[in-house]
Amino acid sequence: MWNYPIPYELLKSSEYIVLANKDHLLDSDYIPQDLVKLTVRKISSDPIQMRQAASDALTTLFDAAKEDGIYLYAHSGYRSYRTQNTMYYNRLKKNNGKDDGVVAYPGSSDHQTGLGIDVINKSGIGKKFTSAFANTKEGKWIAEHCWDYGFIIRYQKDKEDLTQIIYEPWHLRYVGVEVSRYIHQMNYCLEEFTDEWQRVVYEYEH
């Protein structure tokens, strides 16, 4: 009998709960098929892409924020393996060959899924991202409301040992509403959720 709060069919068929990290690398040729250009407010006129469902959900989230007097800006969405590879090795070069967890290893980047997006406020444009964003009114709004639109804060403060990435209150990841609300309710990171649902599915099938 299936008694997990998220439907079995959804877990088996959802393309939006894919996990990308150092232990679950995406192929170098992985490119989502339904990438679209974002229509939301961006930091510049350069195009930003996300998968269609994530783009639609982000538009709804931005509209809801605006109704509350919160103005958000999309900074960085889909990044190819090649781009991530360049960014990673540039970071190593700058950092005397040390991986400091700031730039994801090629294939482990949430941005390659086409479901990850960096969202900032106007005063953050052109500046270095810091965890202080969490204390801004925009950061607080995101932390409180993103879950209702299918997004999670991918790299949480108290989960760095599991995600192996520093706390990033600006990095949202689309997983779909049922999953995002469950993750929020359980205070999970995507790694914890993946371990749990895969175990539950395995036990159910065996």
Q: Which pLDDT tens digit goes with each residue over 157-174?
A: 999 999 989 999 999 999
Would you tell me the crossing angle of helices 177-186 and 190-205 to the nearest 10 degrees?
110
What is the chain's mean pLDDT, rounded?
Answer: 96
> CA–CA separation, 42 vs 194, rounded Å?
31
From the CB of residue 2, how many other CB atoms can be counted at a distance below 10 Å?
11
Q: What is the mean pLDDT of residues 26-51?
A: 97
> Over 80: is that where the pLDDT of 101 sits?
no
The type of residue at 94 is: K
Domain ranges of the chain: 8-205
> CA–CA separation, 21 vs 26, rounded Å?
8
Q: What is the mean pLDDT of residues 138-158?
A: 97
Kindly write down the DSSP assignment for every residue of 54-77, as one continuous string: HHHHHHHHHHHHHHTT---EEEE-
**Three-state secondary structure along 172-197?**
EEECCHHHHHHHHHHCCCHHHHHHHH
Among the four given CATH numbers 3.90.420.10, 3.90.550.10, 3.30.1380.10, 3.40.50.300, the one describing domain 8-205: 3.30.1380.10
